[in-house]
Structure 1
Amino acid sequence: MKRAYNFNAGPSALPLPVLQRAQEELLNFQNTGMSVMELSHRSKEYDEVHNKAKQLLRKLMNIPDTHDILFLQGGASLQFSMVPMNLLHEGKVANYVLTGAWSEKALKEAKKIGETHVAASSKEANYTHIPALEHIQLSERTAYLHITSNNTIFGTQWHEFPDLPVDLIADMSSDILSREVDVKKFALIYAGAQKNLGPSGVTVVIIRKDLLENIPDHLPTMLNYNTYSSSNSLYNTPPTFAIYMLSLVLEWVDEQGGISIIEKRNKEKADILYRCIDESKGFYSPHAEKGSRSFMNVTFTLPNDELTKTFLAEAKERGFVGLAGHRSVGGCRASIYNAVPLEACEALADFMREFQQRFI
């Protein structure tokens, strides 16, 4: 069976060996006579899947014992509310750096909970870059500083993180597990799974344990991080199949040689596409400035809308899926998450050069 070149922004490509393994085990997981989807979340067999996912994530990301790993639902969008509900205490101010649509949405939810402050923003430049670290201006009484590590819509990414005397929180939904990160620098990391971790349905939260001690008691049970920490994320039925798929993806990353190898491969993939764009003499125009370019989402435009439509139509005929830019910015976007193979990026670059020669 011929597989598509999948450049979808999310849900996105999954490693073929992971899909094949899930296919093999779908009807009879570990001789239980049941699918993982049918197992009780209180069973020994599922318990092993659940804990293996946590153990592999801790190993691969080098997560210290000071931090807990939680499995939640609701995607990153629910975390936009849960973060301030749990961590924005009375008299404190939540600080946000605006680098795109998702950080704007995170700020919008925080405003409903308490006092907020925009510590830096590149909105005036249509989010073409990540603000310089020295331009971050914290408020007084800062509760935390929130960033979005990678911006899928605009194709920008933080390549250096703030090092300030406040708790740093990051939405890493679209670049978690794609590069080595010093988890100790972060008070909390959250990520929807549907980019690099697995299918949609599970959200990973990595939280420094001391933060749990000061969470307000009045929060609804299912919106309190302590509920998940104290129950090993098994207070109610978790998204068991999504966590199973997460564990398989983590196994695959481990088999590849870990995150350092994945990071090297991701940079190679991005370089192939950015080189093609830069050598096109303006036929393809990148949205992101060079110092802020994402290794996960390569965004670019063509000379006009008609050419863009032709490009996307021909690309689809050639088996390239998901190249249309986000509806809010248009143009094109190649999302090259961990499971997108190098060969797909090489094939896309070849098509882009061929297309340019025909329409230059």
Structure 2
Amino acid sequence: MTDTTVTDATIASTAKPATKPARPHFSSGPCAKPPGWDASKLAVEVLGRSHRSKLGKARLQYAIDLMRELLNLPDTHRIGIVPGSDTGAFEMAMWTMLGARGVTTLAWESFGEGWVTDAAKQLKLEPKIHRADYGQLPDLSKVDWDDDVLFTWNGTTSGVRVPNGDWIPDDRRGLSFADATSAVFAYDLPWDKIDVATFSWQKVLGGEGGHGVLILGPRAVERLTEYTPAWPLPKVFRLVSKGALAEGVFKGETINTPSMLAVEDAIFALEWAKSIGGAQGLIARSNANATALDKIVAHRDWLGHLAPDKGYRSTTSVCLTVEGADEAFIKKFAALLEKEDAAYDVAGYRDAPAGLRIWCGATVDTADIEALGPWLDWAYATAKAG
């Protein structure tokens, strides 16, 4: 068998590749649009209409119904479209439900660290904090489930995910709050283990930003209706009216005015997902992309995974290390690729260790991941030479 390992010697003579990824969109958010997407394909008869019109509410409800179907979400769980992308959805959950009992926060990347800040400095809840360095997970067995527990299912900025839901006990007293924005539609999530989940369309579905999705299990609904926080809530966070859940929020009656164009864009992505086999089709595409990128990494001694353990390595936001690279080198590396229209937005997150981040979610084609390998070689060689 031919040795295909790419070493410094072969890098030195690397020529600019002849073939580029057909869609060089590898950003980790907003992510690549679904294959075949075109603005002219969106149903636009709802544009210019009220979101509270019969048509507007029907389209919002249709988006909710499609999400429920694709996620195999049980009837016990409610789905609401809320403002502020995933951040808005997660903060809505924190501000409306935390404070009833102790809080534990898990942080192994920047967004998890953001929830630590919210809980400790904004809500002043004195949470227990379990941290791990980028590329690692904290010891999940030490989590106190008498508390409400906040965590990111898939750390977008570190390429680290929780391996499964086995660490979440069925008899937990606290609620599980999962920021699942880079995980929903990419993993088979155990909904019986998740009391609160949030995500945005701009990740695995390749939708537009600005809107969040809030999923509530029955225990979260119980918390909302039986507990009143000590702090005031802004209008866009209010999920309870006169002591009862505002059910309209989960039937397409959004708290504030949504972009119906963004809703139609999400519907396009959801219908595409349904056409390729639903959640399992999306998971299969993401896994194939991650496998293709793994092969690229394995054949290059200058490239590695920030998350060394494949058991908790993300298959969507895959974070890579580059031998000897600092922030300036990565900036140059990414700029070279962008100038050639070979890869867009592949520099790692600003708070993460210097490296690359390649989105491998379902809207990316595996052939484009495969075509990326030689361009990484070229950019690495060019950046080193210059």
Whether these two folds match at TM > 0.5 is yes
1:72 to 70, 82, 85: 82
1:357 Cα shift?
Answer: 8.0
> Cα–Cα, structure 1 residues 42 and 145, in superposed 2: closer, same or farther, change >3 Å?
same
> Cα–Cα, structure 1 residues 61 and 80, in superposed 2: closer, same or farther, change >3 Å?
closer
Is 1:261 aligned to 2:270, yes or no?
no
Is 1:85 aligned to 2:105, yes or no?
no
Aligned to 1:43: 53
Are the counterparts in 2 of residues 265 and 342 from structure 1 also a CA contact under 8 Å?
yes
Name the CA distance, whole Å, in 2 between partners of 1:246 and 1:213.
30
Name the CA distance, whole Å, in 2 between partners of 1:59 and 1:348.
34
Aligned ranges 1:240-259 → 2 under 5 Å: 240-259=260-279
Name the CA distance, whole Å, in 2 between partners of 1:79 and 1:356.
39
Are the counterparts in 1 of residues 42 and 268 from structure 2 also a CA contact under 8 Å?
no
Aligned to 1:343: 367
Point out which structure has higher relative CO (alpha carbons under 8 A, 6+ apart).
2
Is 1:138 aligned to 2:144, yes or no?
yes
Aligned to 1:280: 300
Name the CA distance, whole Å, in 2 between partners of 1:319 and 1:351.
7
> Cα–Cα, structure 1 residues 307 and 76, in superposed 2: closer, same or farther, change >3 Å?
closer
Name the CA distance, whole Å, in 2 between partners of 1:286 and 1:40.
47
1:172 Cα shift?
Answer: 0.8
Name the CA distance, whole Å, in 2 between partners of 1:76 and 1:55.
19
Is 1:106 aligned to 2:115, yes or no?
yes
* AA in 1 matched with 2:282: I
1:273 Cα shift?
Answer: 1.0
State the secondary structure of the residue aligned to 1:13: coil
Unaligned residue ranges in structure 2 (runs of 5+): 1-20
State the secondary structure of the residue aligned to 1:301: strand
1:257 Cα shift?
Answer: 0.3
1:310 Cα shift?
Answer: 5.3
1:105 Cα shift?
Answer: 0.5
Are the counterparts in 2 of residues 177 and 259 from structure 1 also a CA contact under 8 Å?
yes
1:6 to 11, 14, 25: 25
TM-score (norm: length of structure 2): 0.81
Is 1:224 aligned to 2:230, yes or no?
no
Per-residue CA deviations over 1:163-187 (Å, capped at 9, x if unaligned) read 2213211001122111221212111
Per-residue CA deviations over 1:301-351 (Å, capped at 9, x if unaligned) read 322347645543442215211111122232211112221111111111233
Name the CA distance, whole Å, in 2 between partners of 1:89 and 1:44.
38
Higher share in helix: 1
Aligned to 1:172: 180
Percentage of identical aligned residues: 23
1:113 Cα shift?
Answer: 1.7
Are the counterparts in 1 of residues 184 and 204 from structure 2 also a CA contact under 8 Å?
yes
Are the counterparts in 2 of residues 77 and 106 from structure 1 also a CA contact under 8 Å?
no
Are the counterparts in 2 of residues 41 and 47 from structure 1 also a CA contact under 8 Å?
yes
Per-residue CA deviations over 1:168-215 (Å, capped at 9, x if unaligned) read 110011221112212121111011221123110210000123333224
* AA in 2 matched with 1:196: V
Aligned to 1:33: none
> Cα–Cα, structure 1 residues 24 and 264, in superposed 2: closer, same or farther, change >3 Å?
closer
1:254 Cα shift?
Answer: 0.6
State the secondary structure of the residue aligned to 1:320: coil
CA RMSD of aligned residues (A): 2.5
Is 1:199 aligned to 2:208, yes or no?
yes
Per-residue CA deviations over 1:284-309 (Å, capped at 9, x if unaligned) read 12211223211011212322347645
Name the CA distance, whole Å, in 2 between partners of 1:83 and 1:24.
34
1:77 Cα shift?
Answer: 2.4
* AA in 2 matched with 1:60: L
Name the CA distance, whole Å, in 1 between partners of 2:295 and 2:91.
39
Aligned to 1:151: 155
* AA in 1 matched with 2:149: L
Name the CA distance, whole Å, in 2 between partners of 1:173 and 1:288.
19
Comparing 59-68 and 316-325, the one that deviates more: 316-325
1:300 to 314, 320, 338: 320
TM-score (norm: length of structure 1): 0.86
State the secondary structure of the residue aligned to 1:328: coil
1:127 to 116, 134, 142: 134
Name the CA distance, whole Å, in 2 between partners of 1:115 and 1:258.
40
2:191 to 183, 196, 201: 183
Name the CA distance, whole Å, in 2 between partners of 1:25 and 1:98.
38
Is 1:324 aligned to 2:343, yes or no?
no
Unaligned residue ranges in structure 1 (runs of 5+): 30-35
Are the counterparts in 1 of residues 104 and 143 from structure 2 also a CA contact under 8 Å?
no
* AA in 2 matched with 1:191: F
Aligned to 1:312: 334
Is 1:23 aligned to 2:17, yes or no?
no
> Cα–Cα, structure 1 residues 339 and 182, in superposed 2: closer, same or farther, change >3 Å?
same
Name the CA distance, whole Å, in 1 between partners of 2:329 and 2:124.
46
Name the CA distance, whole Å, in 1 between partners of 2:261 and 2:364.
22
